Amino acid sequence: MSVANRQQTATSGSYDPASQKLLTFHDAVPAFRDGSDSPRAYLERCLEVIEAREPEVQAWVTINREGARAAADEASARYKAGKPLSPVDGMPIGIKDLFMTKDMPTEMGSPLFKGNETHADSALVYGLRMSGAVILGKTVTTELGFSHPGPTRNPFDTNRTPGGSSSGSAAAIGAGMVPATIGSQVVGSVIRPASFCGNYAIKPTLGALNRGERAGSLSQSHIGVHAGSLEDMWAVSYQIAATAGGDAGYPGLYGEETPAGSKKPTHLILLQTEGWEMLDGTTRAAFEQILEQLRRQDIQILTRADSPTIDACEVAMAESLKLARDICCWELRWTLRNLAEKDRSLMSESLQQRLAVAEDMDLAAYRIALDKRERMRTRFRALAPFADGCITLSSVGIAPAFDGSGSVGEPGITHQTGLPAFNAATSALGVPAISLPLMGISGMPVGVQLVGQTHRDQELSAIAAWMRESVKPVSL
């Protein structure tokens, strides 16, 4: 059986988090070093899977096969000489099509940018190339990274959305096409699609990874990484920070190059957020089984009922969807006005809804939103003495139908790629979050989300590693 057929068999049919095997890179490196395998051969296996699955999944906008093969050959020569550049040397990576690439168009999911050639790399792409990574192609994003979907389908059920806005990035991992991809999140665009597609993913501390040309546009924009393993997730994150740094004025990602070892927490706070009341019974029951496993291993799960400090944080986060809407719409208003003047007919209804919200706001309303966000951050920082981290869900359930039926949004906005009710708060907080593929609901993935304090990204990844080893995945 070919590599592509094996992967197709593994990802078609009912999803089981206990048996699903994602593509990884770190464990292939020893064979590169001893000459029994090579980055070029690894790339060709990825391309074989893409050829088999792309017609149904549609994760990619552009694939630069010639450029990727040249980069993989260079990486193969470095391994042969015993001089790889970094842990990601030779790793095929997909880049969300919001970020500039010198050798491929950057179309941002919008007909207004069709064929847009920048002839330059975004800082994160440049940093990955410096580290030896193989920039394979551009993955599908929703329109300008917001609510209107592209063509990408969920790799486990093509009648369902992969989530957004990092649609292609998440689906490419779930389909086993590549070991890592780049996404971004302003509200829920890394963690939610990771949940729907069964990925590992990190939304690091705000500003930890250089956003390049998008840095000044949205104050909650985070670069994130989707991957088939925690090891590859961390390696990609670290190399971006090590080469390109963080955003201007930010200290970048803290931690060591070597992935953190497993660390068992003693206390975790259950963050309900506004998503808790939106859960269906099956998803909640599966998550309760995860929490019960933790309790049986002597981990204390704290809730808002256990402490006024935790309750105050929950109260502060209670309307995070509306808060994210207001902040993002105000910050986008000039971009959206310019696009409307260029050709309003090429803007989706969802994007026009955001413009309408922005036009109804004034500077005083934006200041009120910023003040509320800062109060949220203060309340969350107050939780640090209580626990090693927080735990919640990565999405309100399984991926909804691809047509967006049944999707609701914060007032004034329609979401067609799933509701980010468990993500808006952590994006507004600017704290690190990691999604773990630990649950299967009705044959589809749902992730468990870990949340940490600012700059504690690597410590959070250590808790994630312990959970991967010690918590049995749940299927209902």
Tokens linked to 77? 């020569």
Query: Does residue 47 surpass a pLDDT of 90?
Result: yes
Q: What is the pLDDT of residue 9?
A: 39
Query: Does residue 4 surpass a pLDDT of 50?
Result: no
Q: What is the pLDDT of residue 412?
A: 64
The phi and psi torsions of 391 (rounded to 5 degrees) equal -135, 140
Q: What is the pLDDT of residue 1?
A: 36
Strands 134-139 and 92-96: parallel
List pLDDT tens digits, range 460-470.
999 999 999 99
CA–CA gap between residue 113 and residue 89 (Å, rounded): 31
Residue of 189, 237, 394, 461 marked active site: 189
Q: Which residues of 151-160 are buried (b: 16+ CB within 10 A; e: fewer)?
A: ebbbbbbeeb
Mean pLDDT, all residues of the chain: 94
Instruction: Clarify whether 189 is annotated catalytic.
Output: yes
Yes or no: say if 438 and 450 are a contact pair by the CB < 8 Å rule: no
Q: What is the CA radius of gyration of the chain?
A: 21
CA–CA gap between residue 261 and residue 197 (Å, rounded): 25
| N-to-C CA span, the chain | 31
Among 14-18, 200-204, 304-308, 410-414, the minimum mean pLDDT is found in 410-414
Query: Does residue 232 surpass a pLDDT of 60?
Result: yes
Tokens linked to 456? 């504690």
Query: Does residue 472 surpass a pLDDT of 70?
Result: yes
Q: What is the pLDDT of residue 10?
A: 41
- Residue 290: helix, strand or coil by DSSP? helix
In terms of Cβ atoms closer than 10 Å to its own Cβ (0-12, 13-18, 19+), residue 385 is: exposed
Residue type, 39: P
Q: What is the pLDDT of residue 71?
A: 98
Q: Which residues pair with 451 in a beta bridge?
A: 390, 433
Q: What is the pLDDT of residue 116?
A: 97
Q: What's the mean pLDDT in 42-49?
A: 98
Q: Residues in the chain, how many?
A: 476
Query: Does residue 215 surpass a pLDDT of 60?
Result: no
Q: What's the mean pLDDT in 112-119?
A: 96
Please tell me the pTM assigned to this model: 0.96
Residue of 96, 138, 203, 372 marked active site: 96
* Secondary structure letter of residue 132 according to DSSP: T
Percent of the chain with pLDDT over 70: 95
List pLDDT tens digits, range 117-131.
999 999 999 999 999
Which of 246, 139, 242, 256 minimizes the C-alpha distance to 199? 139
CA–CA gap between residue 363 and residue 332 (Å, rounded): 13
Q: What is the pLDDT of residue 336?
A: 94
Residue of 38, 122, 131, 165 marked active site: 165
Cβ partners under 8 Å of residue 166, min gap 6? 96, 139, 141, 181, 183, 184, 185, 189, 190, 193, 224, 226
Query: Would residue 443 be called left, alpha or beta, if left means φ above 0 and alpha means ψ between -120 and 50 degrees?
Result: left
Instruction: Clarify whether 96 is annotated catalytic.
Output: yes
Query: Does residue 309 surpass a pLDDT of 50?
Result: yes
CA–CA gap between residue 293 and residue 291 (Å, rounded): 5
Q: What is the pLDDT of residue 413?
A: 73
Confidence of residue 415 (pLDDT cuts 50, 70, 90): confident
The phi and psi torsions of 239 (rounded to 5 degrees) equal -70, -35
Instruction: Clarify whether 76 is annotated catalytic.
Output: no
Among 145-149, 211-215, 277-281, 460-464, the minimum mean pLDDT is found in 211-215
Query: Does residue 233 surpass a pLDDT of 90?
Result: yes
Q: What is the pLDDT of residue 7?
A: 46
Confidence of residue 147 (pLDDT cuts 50, 70, 90): confident
Query: Does residue 448 surpass a pLDDT of 70?
Result: yes
Q: What's the mean pLDDT in 78-102?
A: 98
CA–CA gap between residue 368 and residue 389 (Å, rounded): 29
Confidence of residue 110 (pLDDT cuts 50, 70, 90): very high
